[in-house]
Amino acid sequence: MTPATAAEQAARRSYGRLVAYLSARSRDVAGAQDALADAFEAALTRWPRDGIPANPDAWLLTVARRKTLDALRERRRGEEAAAWLEWLAALETAPEAHALPDRRLELMFACAHPAIDAAARAPLMLQAVLGFDAATIAAAFLVAPATMSQRLVRAKAKIRQAGIGLQVPARSELAERLGAVLSAIYAVYADAWTDAAGTDPRRRNLAEEAIWLARLVASLLPQEPEALGLLAQMLYSHARRAARRDADGVYVPLTEQDPALWEGRLIAEAEGLLHLASSHHRIGRYQLEAALQSAHVHGRRSGSVDWQAVENLYAALCELTGSPVAALNHAVALSRTAGAEAGLARLDALAAHAQLDDYQPYWAARAELLGQCGCLVEAGTACERAISLESDEAVRAFLRRRAAAWGPQ
Amino acid sequence: MEYMLLIHADPAGFAALSEADAAAAMAAYTAYTEALVKAGINRGSNRLQPADMSTTVRVRGGKTEVLDGPFIETREQLGGYFLIDVPDLDAALSWAARCPGASHGSVEVRPIWDMSGQ
């Protein structure tokens, strides 16, 4: 990590702590952001240049106080002045010197509250907890900046006006509500991953920030196995990022990746987390997905994948989530344990899912299994369909090579 | 914070209940109201006459128009409300879920606009 990146991250961590602290009682996330905006901007400019201050929180608070005073002196009148005075009081009384209570988990639960539009939850987390601006978030989620701004403004107004508390939910609701927090974090990560080539530095940055959020939740709720499972899953995936492309930028599927290119440290951490999670004996989606990654990692390292274990894990995932994507993966695993015909039969049973009709991996899997069954013409057609649905040129090239293998011979 | 729990339900459903079931439904509401009072959060509640008993008023261009019936005709209509005072939305939602109306219709939880500072 370069010093500039480290400085930016320090500024984001501190910003998130302060937004969470300041909005904890008022529920006014937008107001807290306004009160900190100038100070945060100054930190993003100055810390990479001058170095990270010894106490980042105190630095931001001091600058925020000064800026708020400036704003008051300059032009604020009436109601607006009253609001700024209130923020000044909040900034004045905030504890300093590493004593700031960490309310970020509470803020994340508010961002992912079921009363918040599901499409706004991950973006809101990125903005409130990490200080990303609406334009960057809009780019990551492929939404027009104006639309994203509006979505964020509305979500923040809802927290304040509908009285959404910044708190960790009661035990009876924790599992379900934690699910929403984890799924928002996963959305940040998955979205960053769609730019697998890593051509967009903003998105690459987001993948690391998502991992950081998952780490924060896992460290604050270590008794929740799904929080550990999500972090493990993301670490397995992140550990392999360098192996997903060859020197020419061509996509390399997991089964052909060079394990020497994987980041062993991250994989070891993921294995440890998964082990710890399983000791709680409360299985869930993210633990199953992490276990699948683990099985593939071991398979690639040892040269033989335990397909029976993979098939069982996918079967459990289908049972748990009812997701057609999990069912698709189950079909592929089944083709390894029971033969291509069995896998193809399972795929045929899924054909009715509208969601899969436009899903590239469905057609790619279909092509693969048809090819194995000797139905070369159908395999070629399915592969063409897969290519037409893929936008990543590296993956298209990979699929074209497969199509050529089944072409007229 | 104050929240209005607005009970939306199909009045035909209640009308179709047997006498015993209707009595049980009323008893559920009575018990719920008592629970709110006991918790010290009840700020008022009422059952409303059916929507076809309502009259809508609007003033357009200085002229008062009086129309028979509700503003919007839907199968589910506003059947009653509870006004409660609780710390936050989660508390309001948990009370809303306990409201009998949530089981036979739906309960809209609407924060009251605090006019005290304005």
Model confidence at A99: pLDDT above 80:
no
A5 lies in the same domain as A89:
yes
Q: How far apart are CA A397 and CA A164, in angstroms?
A: 48
Judge: A162–B111 Cβ closer than 8 Å, yes or no.
Answer: yes
> How do residues A134-159 score in pLDDT, each as one tens digit?
988 888 888 899 999 999 999 999 99
Residues of B in contact with A167 (CB under 8 A): 88, 90
**CB neighbour list of residue B28: distance below 8 Å, 6 or more residues apart:** B100
Q: Is residue A315 part of a domain?
A: no
Residue B44 lies in a domain: yes
Q: What is the pLDDT of residue A97?
A: 62
Among residues A7, A62, A74, which one has the least CA distance to residue A35?
A62
Q: Which residues of B touch A111 (CB under 8 A)?
A: none
Cα(A201)–Cα(A307) distance, integer angstroms: 36
- Mean pLDDT throughout A358-377? 91
| CB contact (8 A) between residue A163 and residue B93 | no
Give percent of chain A above pLDDT 90: 61
| Same domain (yes/no): A212, A109 | yes
In a domain, A311, yes or no: no
Q: Fill in the amino acid letter for A393.
A: E
**For the purposes of burial, counting CB atoms within 10 Å of the CB of B95, is it exposed (0-12), middle (13-18) or buried (19 or more)?**
buried
**Does an H or E element contain B3, and which?**
strand B2-9
Contact between B79 and B73 (Cβ < 8 Å):
no
What are the chain A neighbours of B114 within 8 Å (beta carbons)?
none
Total beta-carbon pairs less than 8 A apart between chain A and chain B = 24
**Number of domains within chain B:** 1
Type of residue found at A56: P
| A402 within domain boundaries | no
Distance from CA of B38 to the nearest CA of A (A): 22
pLDDT of residue A52: 95
Residues of B within 8 A of A163 (CB-CB) are 1, 3, 87-89, 92, 111
- HEC readout, chain A: CCHHHHHHHHHHHHHHHHHHHHHHHHCCHHHHHHHHHHHHHHHHHHHHHHCCCCCHHHHHHHHHHHHHHHHHHHCCCHHHHHHHHHHHHHHHHCCCCCCCCCCHHHHHHHHCCCCCCHHHHHHHHHHHHHCCCHHHHHHHCCCCHHHHHHHHHHHHHHHHHCCCCCCCCCHHHHHHHHHHHHHHHHHHHHHHHCCCCCCCHHHHHHHHHHHHHHHHHHHHCCCCHHHHHHHHHHHHHHHCHHHCECCCCCECCHHHCCHHHCCHHHHHHHHHHHHHHHCCCCCCHHHHHHHHHHHHHHHHHHCCCCHHHHHHHHHHHHHHHCCHHHHHHHHHHHHHHHCHHHHHHHHHHHCCCHHHHCCHHHHHHHHHHHHHCCCHHHHHHHHHHHHHHCCCHHHHHHHHHHHHHHCCC
Burial of A279 (0-12, 13-18, 19+ CB in 10 A): exposed
In a domain, A179, yes or no: yes
- Same domain (yes/no): A98, A115: no
Q: State the CATH number of the domain containing residue B12.
A: 3.30.70.1060
| DSSP at B92 | H
Q: Is A409 a residue whose pLDDT tops 50?
A: no
Strand partners, A238: none
How high is the pLDDT of residue A120?
Answer: 94
Q: Which chain A residues are Cβ-neighbours of B107 within 8 angstroms? A: none
- Whether A17 maps to a domain, the answer reads yes
Whether A325 is covered by a domain: the verdict is: no
ipTM strictly over 0.90? no
Q: How many domains, in total, are found in chain A? A: 3
Tell me, yes or no, whether A96 and A198 share the same domain. Answer: no
Structural domain range at position A13:
1-102
Contact B89 A169 (CB under 8 A): no
B3 contacts chain A (CB < 8 A): yes
- Among the listed ranges A35-44, A95-104, A300-309, A346-355, which one has the minimum average pLDDT value? A95-104
Smallest Cα distance from B115 to chain A, Å: 12
The residue-averaged pLDDT of A300-319 equals 93
Residue A333 CA: distances (Å) to CA of A306, A309, A338, A343, A375: 10, 9, 9, 7, 20
State the pLDDT confidence band at B58, using cuts at 50, 70 and 90: confident
The phi, psi pair for B64, rounded to 5°, reads -85, 125
Residue B25 forms part of a structural domain: yes
pLDDT tens digits, one per residue of B61-99 = 888 888 787 777 677 889 999 999 999 999 999 999 999
Is residue B26 in some structural domain? yes
Any CB–CB contact under 8 A between A85 and chain B? no
Asked whether residue A324 is domain-assigned, the answer is no
Q: List the 152-181 stretch of A: residues with Cβ below 8 A of B.
A: 161-165, 167, 169
Same domain for A41 and A93, yes or no, is yes
Q: Clarify whether residues A188 and A112 are in a common domain.
A: yes
Tell me the residue range of the domain where B68 lies. 2-111
Chain B residues closer than 8 Å to A115 by CB: 89, 93
Average pLDDT over residues A333-349: 94
For A161, the closest chain B residue by CA position comes to B111
Mutate to test the interface with B, among A80, A164, A168 (most CBs of B within 10 A): A164
B89 and A162 within 8 Å at the Cβ level: the answer is yes
Per-residue DSSP letter, B1:
-
Top-confidence residue, A191 or A119:
A119
* Position B41 in a domain: yes
**Residue A249: its pLDDT value, please?**
77
- The helix (H) or strand (E) run that includes residue B94 is helix B89-98
Nearest CA in chain B to A170: B90
Distance (Å, whole) CA B85 – CA B2: 4
CA distance B12 to chain A (A): 30
Q: Does residue A169 share a domain with residue A87?
A: no
Q: Is A268 on the interface with B (CB under 8 A)?
A: no
Residues of A in contact with B89 (CB under 8 A): 113, 115, 162-165
Place of tokens 């709110």: B36
Strands B42-47 vs B77-85: parallel, antiparallel or unpaired: antiparallel
What are the tens digits of pLDDT across the range A3-28? 888 899 999 999 999 999 999 988 99
**Considering only alpha carbons, which residue of chain A is nearest residue B113?**
A161
Can you tell me the mean pLDDT for A88-110?
A: 85
Q: Apex CA A144: angle with CA A139 and CA A145, to 5°?
A: 75
Chosen from B88, B98, B110 to mutate, greatest number of chain A CBs within 10 A: B88
Residue A98 pLDDT exceeds 80: no
The DSSP output letter for B85 is E
Element (H, E) at B79: strand B77-85
**Position A108 in a domain:** yes
Contacts of B92 in chain A (CB under 8 A): 163
Look at the alpha carbons of A264, A269, A275, A277 in this order and tell me if their dihedral is positive or negative: negative
Rounded Cα gap, residues A59 and A53, in angstroms: 7
